[in-house]
């Protein structure tokens, strides 16, 4: 008998180069054994060199996609990525406030190349409306500073950063410390329990899509029934392998390899 796999919905921007955004999310979901679905909030013109431009979809188009998927198919977990503007953040947050499944929020502020993907005015909306809907929020160090004003300079600063992020309303905060010097370490906490995830640093510049991939992997693992710490652990293992096998593409920064487990067989 055919069994329907768990369903995971990503709400994010499209990456025409295929390394991040909706494309990375769906590849990750397939690799981890769930059925990926998408709500496209924005379209980017993007390649290995950077983001040449982006165009938001009208809020009614985003809402219609959400209503269409959730009204018929449903989801066991939801992940958000690039939402671009205050009105799109508001539109998505309104829907997420009414769901009962885990929500993973990747508070996308800039691309891997440093290109802005979130209007400055939308930061307040992310803080006040989107983060309170999150089961897990996954900011990098730049996004922590953007959201809270806390600047993380070493591993000792991670708990203070997590406390500031949790004050904005998510149940769990995963502070990604990959840009710190030395061995990469991420801190996951709900304010009571604390988990640190360490990984080998791979000498590979082809890391486009790591944030999208990690958040989608966490959402996929939550849909498969894992609790938050175990979902993050499994997601980290998947992303670490994908980073190690990231490959060159075009003239700039290539993507992580979402199919690394298949290619390594």
Give kind and range of the element (H or E) at residue 175: strand 172-176
Question: How far apart are the C-alpha atoms of 172 and 128, rounded to whole Å?
Answer: 16
Exposure b/e, 37-60, CB count within 10 A at least 16 = b: bbbbbbbbebbbeebeebebbebe
User: Of 145, 150, 220, 140, nearest to 185 (Cα)?
Assistant: 140
Residue 34, exposed/middle/buried by CB under 10 A (0-12, 13-18, 19+)?
A: buried
Instruction: Determine which helix (DSSP H) or strand (DSSP E) holds 9, and give its type and residue range.
Output: strand 7-15
Positions marked catalytic:
176, 207, 209-212
Q: Which of 218, 205, 215 is nearest to 244 (CA)?
A: 205
How far does the chain reach from its first CA to its final CA, in angstroms?
Answer: 27
Sign of the Cα pseudo-torsion (179, 254, 235, 77, in order): positive
């Amino acid at each position: 008998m055919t069994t329907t796999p768990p369903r995971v919905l990503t709400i994010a921007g499209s990456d025409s180069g295929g390394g991040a955004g909706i494309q990375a999310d769906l590849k990750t979901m397939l690799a981890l054994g769930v059925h990926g679905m998408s709500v496209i909030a924005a379209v980017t013109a993007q390649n290995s060199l950077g983001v040449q431009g982006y165009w938001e979809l009208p809020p009614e188009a985003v809402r219609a996609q959400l209503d269409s998927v959730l009204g018929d198919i449903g989801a066991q977990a939801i992940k958000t990525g690039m939402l671009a503007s205050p009105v799109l953040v508001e539109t998505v947050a309104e829907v997420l406030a009414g769901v009962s499944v885990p929500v993973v929020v990747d508070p996308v502020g800039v691309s891997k190349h440093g290109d802005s993907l979130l209007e400055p005015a939308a930061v307040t909306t992310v803080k006040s409306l989107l983060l309170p809907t999150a089961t897990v929020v996954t900011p990098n160090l730049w996004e922590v500073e953007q959201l809270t004003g806390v600047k993380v300079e070493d591993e000792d600063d991670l708990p203070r950063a997590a406390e500031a992020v949790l004050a904005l309303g998510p149940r769990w905060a995963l502070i990604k410390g990959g840009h710190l010097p030395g061995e990469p370490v991420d801190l996951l906490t709900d304010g009571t329990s604390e988990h640190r995830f360490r990984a080998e640093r791979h000498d590979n510049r082809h890391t486009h899509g790591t944030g999208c991939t990690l958040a989608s992997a966490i959402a996929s693992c939550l849909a498969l029934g894992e609790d938050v710490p175990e979902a993050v652990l499994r997601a980290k293992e998947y992303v670490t392998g994908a980073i190690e096998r990231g490959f060159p593409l075009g003239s700039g920064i290539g993507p992580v390899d979402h199919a690394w487990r298949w290619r390594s067989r």
